[in-house]
Amino acid sequence: MKKSTISEAQIVAAIKEHESGKAVADICRGLGVHQATFYNWKNKYSGMDSQELRRLKELEEENRKLKHMYAELALDHKVLKDILSKKF
C-alpha cells in the first residue's frame, strides 16, 4: 500500500475547507485522493487543530514504543521461565 504524501496539516486544512462549504469532490480532486479517503480522514481528524494533531502524533509514537518494549519484556520473561523450568 502506498504511503500518502499529504501531511496531517493539509488534511486538517482540507477538512476545514469542507466545513466552510466547499464540495468534497473539489477538495479530493485538488488533493488527488478518493472521496472515501477524505471521509476516513474526516472521521479521524474532525474537530482537531494543529496542537491537538501534534499531541495525537506524540501519543501514537509513545504507544508504539511502549508496545515494542512490552513485546521485548514478554519475550525475555518467556525465555527466563523456560530456562527455570528445565531440570538439571
* Sequence-separated (6 or more) residues with CB below 8 Å from residue 46: 15
Span between the terminal Cα atoms of the chain, in Å = 50
Q: How confident is the model at residue 2 (pLDDT cuts 50, 70, 90)?
A: low
- Residues 41 and 67 grouped into a single domain: no
Q: What's the pLDDT at 81?
A: 92
- Residues 33 and 54 grouped into a single domain: no
- Residues 37 and 8 grouped into a single domain: yes
Q: Please tell me the distance from the alpha carbon of residue 20 to that of residue 12, in angstroms, as a whole number.
A: 12
- Residues 54 and 42 grouped into a single domain: no
- Cβ burial, residue 17 (10 Å; 0-12/13-18/19+): middle
Higher pLDDT, 49 or 4: 49
- Residues 38 and 8 grouped into a single domain: yes
| Domain total in the chain | 2
Type of residue numbered 83: I
Q: How confident is the model at residue 3 (pLDDT cuts 50, 70, 90)?
A: low
Q: Over pLDDT 70: what percentage of the chain?
A: 93
- Segments forming the whole domain that contains residue 66: 49-88
- Residues 43 and 4 grouped into a single domain: yes
Higher pLDDT, 31 or 48: 31
